[in-house]
Amino acid sequence: MEAAMTLAISLVALLVGAGASYLYFSRVGTRQAKTERESATRFVEEARARQKEILLEAKEQAVRIRDSAEMEIKDRRSELLRQERRLAQREETLERKLEAVERKERALAERDAQLEALRQEIDTLKQQQLSELQRISGLTREEAKNLLLKSIDEEVRQDAARRIHEIEQQLKDEADRRARIILTSAIQRCAADVVSESMTSVVHLPNEEMKGRIIGREGRNIRALEAATGCDVIIDETPDAVTLSGYDPVRREIARMALTRLIADGRIHPARIEEVVAKAKQDMEQIIREEGEQAAYKAGIHGLPAEIIRLLGRLRFRTSYGQNVLDHSLECAALAGMIAAELKADVQIAKRSAFLHDIGKAVDHEVEGPHALIGGEIAKRAGLHPKIVNAIAAHHYDEEPASVEAIITIVADSISGGRPGARRESLEHYIKRLEAVEGVANSFPGVERCFAIQAGREVRIVVKPEEIDDLASLRLARDVAKRIEETLQYPGQIKVTVIRETRSVEFAR
């Protein structure tokens, strides 16, 4: 019973607690729902307000886009209008040009028609003239043609014979010139024991006793000096002077330097001589290099190989007919540069070619062959420009000149070597030689006047046309050249040019 009561009380208490809990949670849920509804209401109101703002902004953006589009459309319409006006103007210009072209075509067509009519008229007149000529001459067209061809054939044969004679004369002159060049070069390079100005050096002594010290006991010193230098030491009756003779100018200069130092030092014996000569050789190499570099600087030429610089320095001690070869090369470089600038040729190629054209003379006593070909081979081995190699090898026509710069090198060399005073020849002798050449030419009958030009290497003779005809002018040139060969002495060759001028004058009244 008590258990049932306890169970019933528990059930009641449970029901009461459940009801109380229900009532409590019902009230709490009502308050939360109310709060959520209020929040939703506020959110909806805010969304509506935001929607209005977005709509206003969208309307404003749409207005701006519409205004921009209208402005762009307006601009494009203006551009289209301008393009249409330009196209219209171009069409008008093209129409005017087409009208002008059509007028020109019509004018050309009319002119072609006129020319065709004139051509037909000329053909008609030509046929009439041929018929009249045949009637007058009594020859047919073929007969006249054969007669004319025969006359032309005879004239051509005469001209060919005259030309063959001229070519033979030119070949003879060229052979003589080449022979003189070969002989002159051989004489200049001959290593003969002859005392001359270009082959000797003189060393002055402080007193006559120094000669004995140079000779030494039983000639030991002089033999040692000659063996070390390769030059002959000539001690003769010349007071206070010793002469050094040798074909190699560099060796001769080394001997002069060594002997000068030995005289100044006073100790002269074989060991000392070998020591001083060795030091002089070292100093000479330095001098040669400095001379070559200084010459290249003066000529305005840079980038030359060291071996070429060394050979240029050796040319400082080389002479040709009394003219220093290095000074001659510098002069040729300056002349070639000026001539090339006037002719619009390559100035650097011309200057380098003229500056190096005699480089073979630095070793021509050691290598066989003409110095021009030797120099060309040296330039080729040094990797110089092919035009420079050809100009060096061809400056004496040992090869054919292959460029304008090669011809400029030949001209510069001729000017530098042929000008009065450049080589061993006095001005008085030069003038006398020119007068002698002109005198030989004036001695022939029919000569009106003559001129010796190119330093006496050419004489131009103006003859009287009424006394000397074309064939006689050929004979006169040959006779003058022969008379010059027989009566005058001169280096190289002399070109004889005969000029015959015929003038026909008539007056219209």
Q: What is the DSSP string of 281-337?
A: HHHHHHHHHHHHHHHHHHHT-----HHHHHHHHHGGG-EETTEEHHHHHHHHHHHHH
Show the domains of the chain with their CATH numbers.
200-288 (3.30.1370.10), 320-418 (1.10.3210.10), 427-499 (3.30.300.20)
- Residue 509 vs residue 431, higher pLDDT: 431
Does the pLDDT at position 29 exceed 80? Answer: no
Cα dihedral: 379, 380, 386, 391 (round 10): 40
Phi, psi of 233 (to 5 degrees): -100, 115
H/E segment holding residue 164 = helix 141-188
Above pLDDT 70, what percent of the chain?
A: 85
479 touches 492 (CB < 8 A): no
Find the mean pLDDT for residues 4-16: 65
Alpha helices (H) in 315-464, listed in sequence order: 325-342, 347-355, 371-381, 386-394, 404-418, 427-442
- The three-class DSSP label of residue 243 is strand
387/409 Cα distance (integer angstroms): 11
Locus of tokens 């030429």: 301
Find the mean pLDDT for residues 223-229: 87
The string of pLDDT tens digits covering residues 314-331 is 888 887 766 788 888 888
Does the pLDDT at position 386 exceed 60? Answer: yes
Instruction: Supply the pLDDT for residue 193.
Output: 35
User: Would you call 321 exposed, middle or buried from its count of C-beta atoms within 10 A (0-12, 13-18, 19+)?
Assistant: middle
Q: How many CB atoms lie within 10 A of CB 388?
A: 27
Instruction: Supply the pLDDT for residue 494.
Output: 84
Find the mean pLDDT for residues 290-306: 89
Find the mean pLDDT for residues 391-402: 87
Phi, psi of 198 (to 5 degrees): -85, -5
pTM of the model: 0.46
Q: How many CB atoms lie within 10 A of CB 202?
A: 11
Confidence category of residue 356, pLDDT binned at 50, 70, 90 = very high
Instruction: Supply the pLDDT for residue 399.
Output: 86
Phi, psi of 340 (to 5 degrees): -65, -40
Instruction: Supply the pLDDT for residue 137.
Output: 64
The mean-pLDDT minimum among 223-232, 436-445, 498-507 falls in 498-507
The mean-pLDDT minimum among 140-154, 294-308, 368-382 falls in 140-154
Find the mean pLDDT for residues 263-283: 87
Mean pLDDT, the chain, rounded, equals: 81
Buried b (16+ CB within 10 A) or exposed e, 211-239: bebbbbeeeebbebbbebbebbbbeeeee
Does the pLDDT at position 390 exceed 90? Answer: yes
Among 198-202, 354-358, 433-437, 469-473, top mean pLDDT goes to: 354-358
Confidence category of residue 183, pLDDT binned at 50, 70, 90 = very low
Conformation bin of residue 412: beta by default, left when phi > 0, alpha when psi is -120 to 50: alpha
Instruction: Supply the pLDDT for residue 219.
Output: 86
70/74 Cα distance (integer angstroms): 6
- Residue 454 vs residue 181, higher pLDDT: 454
